[in-house]
Amino acid sequence: MLVIACGMIAREVLAVKAINGLEHLDLICLPAEFHFHPDRIAPAMETAILKARQDGYSHILAGYADCGTGGLLDTVLKRHSVDRIGGPHCFAFYQGLEAFEASGEADMLCFYMTDFLCRQFDAFFVRPLGLDRHPELAADYFRHYEKLVYLAQTNDASLDAVAETAATMLGLAYEKRFTGYGDLTTALVAAAEGPASPRPA
């Protein structure tokens, strides 16, 4: 079985694999920066699926939610009979779709962070937005948010400290929610228990 995943969840996919003994699960990743360019996800996924089929993989899971593709990813996946993780984005499936939908109104003005985004806060937010050079821009960029919510996959004090510092920098209230791997675990385990297919030699 092959998972073609967003680079932002690579570490988490490997953690779920290890915890659940999914030894027959292989992983390849598309660039994490596609988080900022969702129009690139669907065509890159199609290319990756075609390559995986050539390499002998018959059982493939897309390690993505819709992730801002507006249904374009689903069009590609349907064409190739490939399933994906349910939900609009990783912030939803980490919390679990039921919990995410239940908190929808209350979280409308929340800025989410995950373990990955804590580790890559400078690379993914501070430098691209120019906040390292002009920190005063944070007030403009984040003025419509009220709270930073750290959806924690692990209990790591150093990541918690990054999230708290980010909230202060952005002028937002702070909340940590320990989610673990949420529906990512459910999706990977269910896919791994699906139709067995040999791993390419």
Domain of 187, in residue numbers: 2-88+182-192
**pLDDT tens-digit readout, 90-114:** 999 999 999 999 987 789 899 999 9
Residue 71 sits in the same domain as residue 104? no
Does residue 199 sit within a domain?
Answer: no
Q: How far is CA 138 from CA 13, 42, 128, in A?
A: 32, 31, 12
pTM score, two decimals?
Answer: 0.90
Q: Which residues of the chain have pLDDT under 70?
A: 195-201
**pLDDT tens-digit readout, 25-54:** 999 999 999 988 999 999 999 999 999 999
In whole angstroms, what is the distance from residue 179 CA to residue 181 CA? Answer: 6
Decide if 181 contacts 154 (C-beta within 8 A). no
Does residue 119 sit within a domain?
Answer: yes
Residue 50 sits in the same domain as residue 37? yes
Does residue 201 sit within a domain?
Answer: no
Backbone angles phi, psi at 71, to 5 degrees: 90, -10
- The continuous run of DSSP H or E covering 61 comes out as strand 60-63
Residue 8 sits in the same domain as residue 84? yes
Residue 75 sits in the same domain as residue 106? no
